[in-house]
Amino acid sequence: MEETKNKAKILAVAGKGGVGKTSLCSAIVRHLVAAHPGKRILAIDADPAIGLSTALGIQVDHTLDDIRNAVIETSERGEYRQAIEILNEARFRIFDTMVECEGFSFLAIGRPEAAGCYCSVNSYLKEVISMLAGDFDYVVIDCEAGIEQISRRVLDEVTHLLLITDQSAKGVNVCREIKEVADELIKYERIGIICNRVVDPSMNDLIKLEGVENLAFIPTDPAHAANDIQGKSVFELPEDSNIMVGVKEALTAIDMI
């Protein structure tokens, strides 16, 4: 008997490097956990820079890249495996790699040992998202900076695309580029932009992307800076900090909380 699985809300956080994607992503996870107790939430650190685990206060021992390497090693040994066995081996290992925390689960893509291209681990990530999405109610993905994961169709199943920028033309341009590629390749339901680290609110009118809703303008957050330098997680950030308030506003605007 076939049973329909959940239709997960899959939220991808993308943008230029250095605009605070990871901090906002961790705040999103915290808000979802608080707003939806009992719901299944999965946070995926898809950025090889590996920052989300620290922001969420998680110790990561294994990553998706470790699983991928183990599977490659088997095939290089010339051992015969049917597709169903490879799939089950991956599933077996994923649950050892997934960290279960209070209110949410966590997976990290990892940093491939080989220098340069991340394509293969990105393809693997796509399969994993597809495999696990039905088991969760919310999936939050902290994407790699730039458009790579969008253009390689890693994020095919994303339902909500959150673009993050700062008050820089470069940041907005990267968001525009991501949107253009996403429009071609992803059937997302909602898209929005968050402007982070706002220094001069009078410039906010310049943050505009056609067809993209402005979800929040978040002023530079001294509380977050202090939290970060002390190695504290997002769960220790004051509720009234700029990031927590701004992210709440953005999630409310897209009916996530």
40 sits near another protein (criterion: CB under 8 A): yes
* Strand 99-101 with 104-108, pairing: antiparallel
138 sits near another protein (criterion: CB under 8 A): no
**159 within 8 A of 31, measured Cβ to Cβ:** no
The Cβ-side half-sphere exposure at 33, using a 13 Å CA radius, reads 18
Q: Which of 49, 72, 88, 189 binds another protein (CB under 8 A)?
A: 88
Based on CB atoms, which residue is closest to another protein, 1 or 199? Answer: 1
Instruction: Give the shortest CB-183-to-another protein separation in angstroms.
Output: 32
Based on CB atoms, which residue is closest to another protein, 92 or 203? Answer: 92
136 sits near another protein (criterion: CB under 8 A): yes
Based on CB atoms, which residue is closest to another protein, 105 or 241? Answer: 105
The two three-digit tokens of residue 189, written as one number: 């339901």
CA gap 216, 116 in Å, rounded: 35
Residues whose CB is less than 8 angstroms from the CB of residue 101 and which lie 6 or more positions away in sequence, other chains included: 56, 58
59 sits near another protein (criterion: CB under 8 A): no
Which of the stretches 81-89, 114-122, 181-189, 195-203 binds another protein when contact is defined by CB under 8 A?
A: 81-89
Report the alpha-carbon angle 155-237-32, nearest 5: 40
76 sits near another protein (criterion: CB under 8 A): no
Q: Which of 95, 170, 203, 206 binds another protein (CB under 8 A)?
A: 95
CA gap 10, 43 in Å, rounded: 10
Distances (CA, A) of 136 to 24, 39, 77, 149, 155: 21, 8, 35, 21, 16
The two three-digit tokens of residue 74, written as one number: 């088997």
The residue type at 205: D
The two three-digit tokens of residue 39, written as one number: 């719901």
Q: What are phi and psi of 78, to 5 degrees?
A: 80, 15
Q: Which of 2, 113, 205, 240 binds another protein (CB under 8 A)?
A: 2
The residue type at 59: Q
Q: Which of 7, 49, 72, 81 binds another protein (CB under 8 A)?
A: 81
CA gap 34, 248 in Å, rounded: 11
Instruction: Give the shortest CB-44-to-another protein separation in angstroms.
Output: 15
Instruction: Give the shortest CB-239-to-another protein separation in angstroms.
Output: 25
Q: Is 54 helix (H, G, I), strand (E, B) or coil?
A: helix
Site for another protein in 178-217 (CB under 8 A): none
Which of the stretches 93-101, 107-115, 162-170, 219-227 binds another protein when contact is defined by CB under 8 A?
A: 93-101
100 sits near another protein (criterion: CB under 8 A): yes
The site for another protein (CB under 8 A) is made up of 1-3, 5, 40, 70, 74, 79-82, 84-85, 88-89, 91-93, 95, 100, 105, 132, 135-136
